[in-house]
Structure 1
Amino acid sequence: MRHTPASLMLFAAGYGTRMRPLTDTLPKPLIEVAGKPLLTHAMEQVAHMPDLKVVANAHYKADQIVDYFAGTGVMVNREAPDLLDTGGGLRNALPLLGDGPVFTMNTDAVWNGPSALECLAQAWDPERMDALLLGVPPEHALGHAGQGDFSVDAEGRAARGPGLIYSGVQILQTKELLEIEDSVFSLNALWDRMIVRERLFILPYPGQWCDVGRPENIAMAEAMLRGEDV
């Protein structure tokens, strides 16, 4: 079995309820920021690693996601009849992603800095890690309230608590997905198991990141991309 990720899961299936009314007619990943759909911003991260196999899930307004990726080589895995959440969606896509660790990426953020995927790839150590999350210090995160999702110790291990904000990008070992009985579940279920075993790690991102989860965050993200103080 390979030990470095060769595939990427893009989460693009959600309803985008916080982005209404924009998502009344569009799936959230196709909402534009700085003249480009959020999916295009995500794929710009992938451009730094052109050999990755890419799979996107789709549920809400899935035909639009399929049309976006037509002719690109990205495989779209439809979730029907139910939305499976992040853990269930990833497990459902494993036949397309293949064995071994995978990258996963949410599609509701934009970045101003080095490639998120390359940052993770350079720090990945499968001997110590079952997952490596990319976290953002609160002072470098826009559009996100709170004190962070994970604390981090001197060796990079993650625990629940104030500290770094999860950016939506990670490398994850997938074999444990098969041990969860529920069909609909969050990746939080895996992370909690890994925390107990001290196998969940988090890496600080050195650039800026903006959560585009609400309509008012679009202008904030565009200002960040222009290099303006926000």
Structure 2
Amino acid sequence: MTKIFITGSTDGLGLLAAKKLIEQGNEVVLHARNQKRADDVHQELPDQKVLIGDLAVQSEVENLAKQVNDEGPFDTIINNAGVYTSDTKMIFHVNVLAPYILTSLIKKPKRVIYVSSGMHEGSKLDMDDLEADTSYSSSKLQILMLTKAVARLWPDVAANAVDPGWVPTKMGGSEANDDLKQGYSSQVWLATFDDLSVTGKYFYHMSPNTYDERADNVELQDELLQQLKLFSGIAFPV
């Protein structure tokens, strides 16, 4: 049995991954943005532990990390939560800064998984003004860069990113043409995958996929970590 924490797991791909991992016999702890969402998911999964924290608010992210550590240790952390909005500040804080803070503050798991997107390829990357100029696509490039940095700096942790594809969730919309089950297949597989030497990879439907080569640029990775440290006041532990 593997102990797993999943952010943004009250609906969408996070909830679907959680259900599958529970079905497989794993211990899964969920995450909700607020009490109402926690109450809603308890209607469907009454026996599951749900931790609460708004990823747009740094103090709540830090408190969430404390809650995770109090419930831990965990074998796997899945950074699934994300927003798609015109509010660049919220995108940056939820999609990039929150996963960075959680990774930095949560006791090291065996595995950490980040949800990226194929939309990251070719996106704009403005390191001088991340809070004001991070689109959804750019946030997914940054999260892939974070994945690569974690894999490089933490050789004892299997850190991988996944592209779930364009799937018909609340975020993806009804026109999405990818397979919903495949949308969470990589997360479920990697959450319990025994070969911890598989790290620093980018998967699409359980297979390695091509990605923007900027993600492999160590100087860019280090610059991103420095910017995230400046925004949060929290240094990445190495």
Give the alignment's TM-score, normalised by structure 1: 0.40
The structure where strand makes up a greater share of residues is 1
The structure where helix makes up a greater share of residues is 2
Bigger relative contact order, structure 1 or 2 (CA pairs below 8 A, ≥6 apart): 1
Give the alignment's TM-score, normalised by structure 2: 0.39
